[in-house]
A and B are shown apart, each in its own frame.
Chain A
Amino acid sequence: MFQDIPLAHVIIVSTLMFFIGVYGFMTRKNLFAILMSTELVLNAVALNFVAFNYYLYPDKMQGLFFALFIIGIAAAEAAVAIAIIVAIYKNFQSVNVEEVSQMKN
């Protein structure tokens, strides 16, 4: 049975995945890499919701629906973000955050 695994182990996995995503968000320069780090963070949060749903309230479906809506919103977010990145690439010929600084100063 899956329930032999303690809830803590699933939470440790999702916490580490979340903070690895945050690390990528802080160190990456490429806009696509930053987008991928955001996907890692969203994925970790969804796993967290599903784990709590499974272990604590298996007869209800709140965590499941939260994860479903997170997946849908991540799809919308990725579509808009990639459109913005492609528009930036057309104007600056680069997807590096340090070269996109026209609105600074």
Chain B
Amino acid sequence: MKPVLFYIMAAVILICSVLTVTSTRILRAAVYLLFVLIATSGVYFLMDYNFLAASQLTLYAGGIIVLIIFSVMLTSSAGERQAPVGKFKASLSALAVAVGALCCLNTFLAYQAFPARTLALDSTVKSIGTALVSMGENGYMLPFEVISLLLLAAMIAAIIIARRDIES
């Protein structure tokens, strides 16, 4: 059952990614991006990373997409269409991207010597919480504190940039 579900998710991810970057309506592109993020969180659920999948759903699919959709609605009308990309530019970009993807996949698929590991998966919320606040080996105290500072700085920066009367 899980492989079938994974291939369905993979198809949703790929089709909706293409639609995200090609749709001429920005609001629809945002909704396609929402489908991509939800399908990715579904893949995390299939891998039994439940906490990560839940944060992906709430932060990415819930928070960021709502923010993007609100700002798109503030800056353009709902039915507004973007001018389509020129054929020459589109085909040139597609060529460059295809070459890059082929190089990456070629390098990766040539390397088949990954050892098969069948250890027990360690991803309970308790062990994640313990690792986040412990120091030393397998502790993530420093990045946790640094990202809290980063989020505070980003919040202040967003407020200051979005204010109109900065000079007064």
Contact = CB atoms under 8 A, between A and B. Distances in A.
Interface of A: 1-5, 7-13, 15-24, 26-30, 32-33, 35-37, 39-40, 43, 46-47, 50-51, 54-61, 64-65, 67-69, 71-80, 82-87, 89-90, 95
B147 A69 contact: yes
Contacts of B104: 15, 19
A31 to B, nearest CB: 9
Contacts of A59: 119-122
Contacts of A9: 6, 10
Query: DSSP class of A's interface residues: helix, strand, loop or mixed?
Result: helix
Query: DSSP class of B's interface residues: helix, strand, loop or mixed?
Result: helix
A33 B29 contact: yes
Given A21-B21, A64-B123, A64-B128, 19 more contacts: A4-B2, A4-B3, A9-B10, A19-B97, A27-B21, A29-B82, A30-B82, A32-B68, A36-B29, A36-B30, A37-B21, A56-B114, A58-B119, A59-B119, A65-B128, A74-B64, A80-B161, A82-B68, A87-B161
Interface in B1-50: 2-3, 6, 10, 13-14, 17-18, 20-22, 26, 29-30, 33, 36-37, 40, 43-44, 46-49
